[in-house]
């Protein structure tokens, strides 16, 4: 059993992990850059240690500094949160070489799923349905054009190493292929150091449905239903809900079993998310994230489980504390992402918080590292909080979200809170009637 865990992250997710550690009687170590000396995760952890200057490559992404922090503090395990080093197979290798434990999947699984081409090949072999597209990488423009003609436009060209919405370009016709192909390649190269790309059919009106999976690394795996994350801007999620308003219990059981079986088959350990596009009753795999997701709280809310606690348990070699039969859905949950961004352009808006008040009451959870007087540094992600509501059904969750948003005060900077006030007025949102293109169209109508 671990006595002490180091959290290689910052912000709300670092706090989230500290909370699980405290409830389990495990001491926590926060790491921070010089810009984060006053951050809430530093205050809340049992110990903290400065690991470098503000830019992430010199602090939160510095593997030697994080390993040194473990050695200095005597932490036995590292929780990576999401982002930063959470899907870095090399990091996992170094952690293991130092006799420490990574709270997450194996380096091999991270490597397989981190490369989207290999991930698709692996999933196809495991019986998971995928988006139709090229078999493996597409070496040059001529091949890309040939495939486009065969598959029919529109198609999407994706960097195999891509993530965070980067390295993806749509071509609506052969005339658009050259630019899309070259741009996806260039973005793959400059953002991820890999210019290999592949091609997929571009679906016209899908929903983004992702299945939460969890494995013990010893051949047992379960699914915790789906989250609908279709409301996206520039391929980035802004509003997530569970269960998905368009998914029937039969469909859930079917795709859930396919995912759980696939994970059991590869002895997957810990939390993972298998992402699909869902159109006309069919699921198409797009990628797998081998970590805890930002939106994991909606799943926690409807199942009443603590996913971080489970991650720590299986990393300790313990079994999961639930079986598939124990997992039943209770009600409906919605999360909205509060970003320090100025509408309508979503430009980053760091600065000092003059007043902060978190909403409360039945079924309300606010995961945030804000406090009165806190200065949001300009160096990191603009996510400053997640408001999660849970109700007996979707309508109650929506009403609760409306009420909780009204209580939330974040003064001193611009945030995305007004966006959600507006969004909740929309009949389509009230009805759960939206796909991955809905939000961009609505934003164009509403703000431009
Ligand atoms: P990233 O790794 O950058 O998050 P994903 O492969 O997960 O990229 O895709 C992100 C989003 O891009 C999806 O949720 C969806 O909105 C859109 N997308 C990806 N692939 C397709 C496709 N084949 N057809 C239509 N939209 C797609």
Please report the atom of ligand 1 found closest to the CA of residue 202: 24
Q: What b-and-e string marks burial along 433-446, b requiring 16 or more CB atoms within 10 Å of the CB?
A: ebbbebbeebbeee
For the chain, which residues score pLDDT lower than 70? none
User: Quick check: 287 and 112 in contact, CB under 8 A?
Assistant: no
Question: How does pLDDT run across 47-106, given as a tens digit for each residue?
Answer: 999 999 999 999 999 999 999 999 999 999 999 999 999 999 999 999 999 999 999 999
Pocket probe for ligand 1: among 436, 437, 439, the residue whose CB has the most ligand atoms within 8 Å is: 436
Beta bridge partners of 228: 209, 241
Ligand 1 centroid vs 159 CA: distance in angstroms?
A: 11
Residue 314: the pLDDT is 98
Question: How does pLDDT run across 29-42, given as a tens digit for each residue?
Answer: 999 999 999 999 99
Please report the atom of ligand 1 found closest to the CA of residue 286: 6
Q: Say if strands 236-242 and 332-339 run parallel, antiparallel, or are unpaired.
A: antiparallel
State yes or no: is 10 an active-site residue: no
Residue 164: the pLDDT is 84
Domains within the chain, CATH numbers bracketed = 4-103 (3.40.50.20), 132-201 (3.30.1490.20), 207-446 (3.30.470.20)
Pocket probe for ligand 1: among 286, 287, 290, 294, the residue whose CB has the most ligand atoms within 8 Å is: 286
Residue 447: the pLDDT is 84
Q: What b-and-e string marks burial along 138-151, b requiring 16 or more CB atoms within 10 Å of the CB?
A: beeeeebbebbeeb
What is the 3-class SS of 346-360, one letter each residue?
CEECCEECCEEECCC
- Tell me if residue 90 falls in helix, strand or coil: helix
User: Quick check: 353 and 370 in contact, CB under 8 A?
Assistant: yes
Q: What is the pTM of this model?
A: 0.97
Residue nearest to atom 2 of ligand 1 (CA): 163
Helix H or strand E encompassing 159: strand 155-163
Ligand 1 centroid vs 235 CA: distance in angstroms?
A: 6
DSSP for residue 252: H
DSSP states of 14-71 as a string? HHHHHHHHHHTT-EEEEEEEGGGTT-HHHHHSSEEEEEE-SSGGGTTT-HHHHHHHHH
């Amino acid at each position: 059993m671990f006595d002490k865990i180091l959290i290689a992250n910052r912000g709300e997710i670092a706090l989230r992990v500290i909370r699980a550690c405290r409830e389990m009687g495990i001491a926590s170590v926060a790491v921070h850059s010089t810009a984060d000396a006053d951050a809430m995760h530093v205050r809340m952890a049992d110990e903290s240690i400065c690991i470098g200057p503000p830019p992430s490559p010199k602090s939160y992404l510095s593997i030697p500094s994080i390993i040194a922090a473990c050695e200095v503090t005597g932490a036995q395990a590292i929780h990576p949160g999401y982002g930063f080093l959470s899907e870095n197979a090399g990091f996992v290798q170094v952690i293991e070489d130092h006799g420490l434990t990574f709270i997450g999947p194996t380096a091999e699984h991270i490597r397989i799923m981190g490369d989207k081409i290999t991930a698709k090949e692996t999933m196809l072999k495991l019986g998971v349905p995928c988006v139709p597209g090229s078999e493996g990488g597409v070496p040059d423009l001529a091949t890309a054009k040939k495939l486009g003609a065969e598959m029919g436009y529109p198609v999407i060209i994706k960097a195999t190493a891509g993530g965070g919405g980067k390295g993806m370009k749509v071509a609506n016709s052969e005339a658009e292929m050259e630019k899309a192909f070259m741009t996806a390649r260039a973005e793959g190269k400059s953002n991820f150091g890999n210019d290999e790309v592949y091609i997929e059919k571009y679906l016209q009106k899908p929903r983004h449905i992702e299945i939460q999976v969890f494995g013990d690394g010893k051949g047992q795996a379960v699914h915790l239903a789906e989250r609908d994350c279709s409301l996206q801007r520039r391929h980035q999620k802004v509003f997530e809900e569970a269960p998905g308003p368009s998914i029937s219990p039969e469909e859930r059981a079917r795709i859930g079993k396919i995912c759980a079986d696939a994970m059991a088959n590869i002895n997957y350990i810990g939390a993972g998310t298998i992402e699909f596009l869902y159109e006309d009753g069919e699921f198409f795999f797009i990628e797998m994230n081998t970590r805890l997701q930002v939106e994991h709280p909606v799943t926690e809310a409807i199942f009443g489980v603590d996913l971080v606690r489970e991650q720590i348990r299986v990393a300790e070699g313990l079994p999961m504390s639930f079986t598939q039969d124990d997992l039943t859905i209770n009600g409906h949950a919605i999360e909205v992402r509060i970003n320090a961004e100025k509408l309508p352009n979503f430009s980053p808006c760091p600065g000092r918080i003059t007043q902060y008040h978190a909403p409360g009451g039945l079924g309300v959870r606010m995961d945030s590292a804000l406090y009165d007087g806190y200065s949001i540094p300009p160096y990191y992600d603009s996510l400053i909080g997640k408001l999660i509501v849970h109700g007996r059904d979707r309508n109650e969750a929506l009403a609760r979200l409306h009420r909780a948003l009204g209580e939330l005060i974040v003064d001193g900077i611009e945030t995305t809170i007004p966006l959600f006030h507006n969004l909740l007025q929309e009949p389509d949102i009230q009805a759960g009637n939206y796909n991955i293109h809905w939000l961009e169209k609505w934003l164009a109508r509403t703000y431009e």
